[in-house]
């Protein structure tokens, strides 16, 4: 009887742990773990290898591994590929580190902002909510149907394709375009 009770307790704990673990969406074919930080999870996403390389080249690994909280609008490899030919290669050169850092930090907000909260802010602000980033950029968040879109300082539009990927130091929202600051 004691064994059955222990087995039932263990099974319930595993089910609860599995449910909590399964709540986070997969990104780039990889599980995303709430107990890992932004960098620890991003390196496992096949869709974010360019972003990870850029974060490393900009020297932001330590920052994005720190306590946070951070909200990161994480562009996919396809988002980087959509930039004009040669842009990524040029940005990854050591002499362009400041420009790369500016672009990347314009994808980061120093708060933990889940999509439901962002949607509420958009509604409260009559359909457009200003987002101030760590990099000093000011973007506009809007709702188009069920999608949250972000308009950068140049009028470029990025759509959140995977929202609310919880991290130990914040949240990631996968986006389909690179947000660009006015330079």
Q: Are 34 and 119 in contact (CB under 8 A)?
A: no
CB contact burial 80-108 (16+ within 10 A = b; e otherwise): beebeeeebeebbeeeeeeebbbbbbbbb
Residue 15's pLDDT band, with cuts at 50, 70 and 90, is very low
Residue 32's pLDDT band, with cuts at 50, 70 and 90, is confident
Rounded distance, CA 180 to CA 183, Å? Answer: 8
- Tell me the CATH class for 2-175: mainly beta
* Cα end-to-end distance, the chain, whole Å: 70
pLDDT tens for 84-97 read 999 999 999 999 99
Q: Is the pLDDT of residue 13 over 90?
A: no
Q: What percent of the chain has pLDDT over 90?
A: 74
Domain boundaries, the chain: 2-175
DSSP helix/strand/coil, 182: coil
Q: Which pLDDT belongs to residue 124?
A: 94
Global pTM?
0.85
Q: Is the pLDDT of residue 142 over 70?
A: yes
Residue 72's pLDDT band, with cuts at 50, 70 and 90, is very high
Backbone angles phi, psi at 180, to 5 degrees: -115, 135
Rg (Cα) of the chain, in Å, rounded?
A: 18
Q: Is the pLDDT of residue 19 over 50?
A: no
Strands (E), the chain: 70-75, 108-109, 129-132, 138-144, 147-151, 157-167, 170-175
């Amino acid at each position: 009887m004691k064994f059955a009770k222990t087995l039932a307790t263990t099974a319930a704990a595993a089910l609860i742990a599995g449910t909590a673990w399964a709540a986070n969406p997969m990104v780039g074919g990889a599980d995303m773990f709430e107990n890992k930080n932004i960098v620890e999870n991003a390196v496992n996403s096949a869709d974010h290898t360019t972003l990870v390389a850029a974060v490393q080249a900009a020297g932001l690994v330590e920052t994005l591994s720190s306590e946070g909280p951070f909200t990161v609008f994480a562009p996919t490899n396809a988002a980087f590929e959509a930039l004009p030919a040669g842009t990524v290669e040029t940005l990854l050169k050591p002499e362009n580190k400041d420009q790369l850092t500016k672009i990347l930090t314009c994808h980061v907000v120093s708060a933990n902002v889940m999509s439901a909260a962002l949607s509420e802010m958009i509604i409260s602000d009559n359909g457009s909510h200003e987002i101030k980033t760590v990099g000093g950029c000011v973007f506009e968040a809007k709702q188009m149907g069920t999608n949250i879109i972000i308009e950068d300082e140049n009028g470029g539009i990025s759509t959140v394709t995977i929202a609310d990927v919880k991290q130990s130091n914040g949240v990631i929202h996968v986006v389909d375009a690179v947000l660009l600051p006015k330079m």
